Chain A
Amino acid sequence: MDSARLRHVQAIFQQAADLSEAERPAFLHIACGDDEELRADVLGMLAADAEGHSLFDRGVAGMAGRLLGASPVPIDHHDAFGPYRLLRPIGEGGMGVVYLAERKDLGGKVAIKILRDAGLSPARRERFATEQRLLAQLIHPSIARLYDADALEDGTPWFVMEYVEGVPITEYCRRRGSSLEDRLRLCRDVCEAVQYAHEHAVIHRDLKPSNILVSDDGRVRLLDFGIAKQLDALDQPIDQTQTALRLMTPAYAAPEQMRGEPVGVFTDVYALGIILFELVTGQPPFDLSTRTPAEAERIIVEHEPPKPSAALGGNRRRWADLDVLCLTALQKDPARRYRSVEALVRDINHYLENEPLEARPDSVGYRFGKFMTRHRRTVAAAAVVFAALAAVVAFYTVRLARARTAAETAAVRAQRVQQFMLNLFEGGDKEAGPAEGLRVKTLLDRGVQEAQLLNREPVVQADLYETLGSIYRTLGDFARADSLLRAALDERKSVFGANDREVSRSAAALGLLRIDQAKLDEAEQWAREALRQAQGIRPTDNAAIGKATFVLGKVLEGRGAYDKAIPVLEDAAKLQSSTSGPTLELAASLTELANSHFYAGHYDVADDVNQRALAIERQLLGERHPRVADSLVNLGATRKERGQYREAEQFYREALGITERWYGSDHPETAGMLFMLGTVLSAQTRYDEAREVLERALMIRERVYGPVHPRVANVLNDLGLIAIKDGQGHLDEAEARFLRVSSIYKTVYGEHHYLVALAVSNLASVYLEGKEFARAEQLYRESVARYTEAVSANHIYTGTARIKLGHALVVQKRYAEAEAETLAGYQIVTRQASPSLVWVQTARKDLATIYDALHQPEKAASFRTDSPK
């Protein structure tokens, strides 16, 4: 039976049903011919139509009542738990019951925890199963093993864990009357287990004494790892407070958990702090037993814990250090706690060895109500990244294999993964998280490994490769980005063939990577490939064409071919405007369009377009996002080019603030902002400030990009200019800088790029300053020629170059030749720039000198007045 057949059957049925009983046989004879099966089907349908029907006419109510009214599957149903047989309940707590159980075939005791009332939807069930498999990989002597996890037919989850006999850690210490040192050592054992888990990107989230058992031989065992995490996944985020309270034991809950904010390793640090406090003093820091949930929340979030030394009284050496140890872990603001469990362990060791602690006492009173710090965000992101990656990888592996309904198959794609991941890394940092083991790169590497296992799912694998590749690109690891993006493209080509949106996207991503790598020819090839693919898609996919066009435009811009880049980028923006509402892709195209206009000297247009981009970015991303900073910089750049340095400085400082807050002070993005600020400070002759800022930028960029990169050249260029302008005679330094700049630009862009002209022109200025006029003149001529070829004869840079050439001639008293150059340059420049520009003033001064010397006093006079024209 296929669709056509069904339609045929139904059509005949409809017609037959509308006829009277008497007329039907004849009609059917004609309609069905000798197709017996067809006739049988139609007759069957007619019969069904005529008669009442129990199920359909009653509706689902009755059936539902019977189905759902049955009691849940009895717990000790012998098949319900696979190879395990339940023996007897041994405890109750949290969200479920714990049973002692044994393996039917091998004997051997295990503990099975069953979570009642936690019916999972199918989607979450699969995610849950995958995450359990990951948790089972936590193998550590102090962590109770999670052997297996599954769900009953109705969705009730159950876990098989190592059966641990022991008492809660606080009870253990109390019974034995353990010494302070013994308690600290036990606590350290606990911390080491937690640290191990953190290195595997698992956060416990529910550490408390009842989860930390100590056996007779003094061995510590941690229970319920990750289970709290799973419960988070089960509950819907409908009511955060409810979720928080239901899941946690309030006494051990961290302030961020109470407030429903993201958790991270710092959350476990806090819980360890509470446990440490309790072990040291014999009681927990907050007594919440008689409090309502609302009161408890307020206490945890706002009240400072007492000092352990105060709680204990008495007199003991090194109480102060003990206070610091506990209270640092218990800080309300996660950023002020121990940055990792490892750090806490180090201080415990210091204490035991009678050494000074690394943590500092917090003498200044701490007020709650703080900001979200960068570290908190990136740490949370790091832990979530891995879970998301792993969950998604397995999600697809399982899901695609068993996709049932139409709604589930094709629609489930890595699009959402990619967006999720890129969002996390939008402001990504190379080093996220406090501990070595949690670097984002490590997580990404693991992600790549997981993705490589998906050889039987090339589509999914390709999506994941592209996601990971784009992230590597954002982080600047071009080599990895390249291999991943290429792999994604190859897979997609083999699966989808040509003229496919995904293949186009891959090609575009590779184009962008090449631009970042400053390989513009290859970038253009990729861009054109992406465009070819995109244009072949049916129905017409404007977004894909727009994206490919954007990449092409960026390549043209990178080459300095602004006249070509502008229409291309306008096209891209138009294509990307046709969907509903503004998107970031549109903002990106507008930004590049604005840049092209800027480089072409169309400052007003550049401002307009930048304002449009900025508006979109503010709307979609908020005020503190790096892209907003970029647009602010672009607005500053036009001010700068027009000589409005104060305004430009304001824009740049605002942008720098956003960037530094987001990325930190050592990040290449911050270097970019510093560079911009330096140039504008330099333009205001605040040379010392400028140099300081630029040298910071240079250091960062050389470290990140290596010595031969346009971004390094940019900074060197401006440092060279300062060396000339500050009048301190640093001409050798200036010369060295510009020679380096020129060599970099030639290597990267080739001989015909305007930036080479710029470098030459600046080099000439060194010689001019050093009074080597002939040499300066020669280089200025060269720069004019290069500019004319690279941009145009009427470009502001060409104009400035001619003014400089004229100046070199004036200084050599060759006034007639000078007039031609200076006048021409002056005319070009004044068409666009503010008259306060220094070269404009130089030109005016020179022209006055020239006309004096050429005996044309009226003209000379006209160039002497303060405001021209």
Chain B
Amino acid sequence: MSTSTYQRRRATNALMLSLCSLFAFAAVGVLVLILGFVLAKGISSLNLDFFIHMPAPVGEPGGGVANSIAGSFFTVGLASLIGIPAGIGAGVFLSEYAGHRLGDVIRFTADVLTGVPSIVIGIFVYGLVVLKMGNFSALAAGIALAIIMLPIVARSSEEMLRLVPHSQREAALALGISRWRTILSVVIPVAQRGLVTGALLAVARAAGETAPLIFTALGNRFWSLSITGGPIDALPLRIWRYGIGPYDEWHQQAWAASFVLVFTVFVISLAARLLLRRR
């Protein structure tokens, strides 16, 4: 091999390696930048008032987003109550009961559902729940978010349950323990941590969704924690409303709310990862 060829190869290698490293750092850097940027922009609004006060009347300074934070917890909580049991149930079915063909059909459907734009899910729930009930509600928002969580929980639960060695199931079955008891008392406890991780990642995803809330929760400047009694606020909606509003005060609060949201999602994801690693 001639020296020039060798040198060219080395140069190409160095170039490609640095490009790949650059992109890798860019991927990590984006998150750091986002966190830093929203923090810098919103820090002046991040104080205790921001968390415990209601939005101030238009034109008045101060005020907080207590109703949005509570609303977010409320709607995501409702969504979790619906989506996590349903998702884990679907995961159990896929891992323990479904035959090859049926399992593949369900898996494919779940994967497609994961890819459905969330605004479409919002419109779907708008037609199905909001129009039928006659008003926007936390329930409608919860259902929309639950639909987003469902396939994520189902697929991750299935993976986690599949990791449980077959010998565990056989041990239980050979004791004359029925199949559903085996799943409930032997298989699920072994996979427990993984199931929680999957559920947490789905919660993190649902907490940041905005589009489906526009059609279901609508948003509300006032305090509301009613399941069916009308519009409810949520952090993503507050960010959206304040962000497109005309006042500097609003913009700053939108930044602060963004930081709270991103940080919460970050912490949930981190908790999920740590939980999975500790074994």
Chains A and B are bound partners: no
- A residues with a Cβ closer than 8 A to B are none
